[in-house]
Amino acid sequence: MENKHFCQSCSMPIDRPELAGTEKDGTKSIEYCVYCYQKGVFLNPGQTLDEMKKLVRKQMETRKMDESIINKAVGSLPLLKRWRKPVSV
């Protein structure tokens, strides 16, 4: 089975090179999609997790995706690199 990469901001599969965001030097990001990250920065740096949840839900509903898949994608957002809370020691 092929190793799949998912955007660590919105959870979108990055399954084609053109969907990968870019780093400052123009190389493809291995962590973020083109819709979230370009030239080494987030396109919406002030976006909150709740705003991302609403956006992901809306985009998936527009594509008529199954509600269980939408819930799984939205539920996974807090686990992604962009949204994880630092562990306090």
Q: What is the mean pLDDT of each run of 10 residues along the chain (89 residues)?
A: 80 95 97 98 97 97 96 96 81
Question: pTM value?
Answer: 0.86
36 — phi, psi (to 5°)? -110, -25
What per-residue confidence (pLDDT) applies to 85? 80
**11: exposed, middle or buried (Cβ count in 10 Å: 0-12, 13-18, 19+):** buried
H-run or E-run covering 38:
strand 37-38
pLDDT of residue 87: 65
Return the pLDDT at 35.
97
Q: Which helix (H) or strand (E) holds 70?
A: helix 67-76
Q: What is the Cα–Cα distance from 57 to 53, expressed in whole angstroms?
A: 6
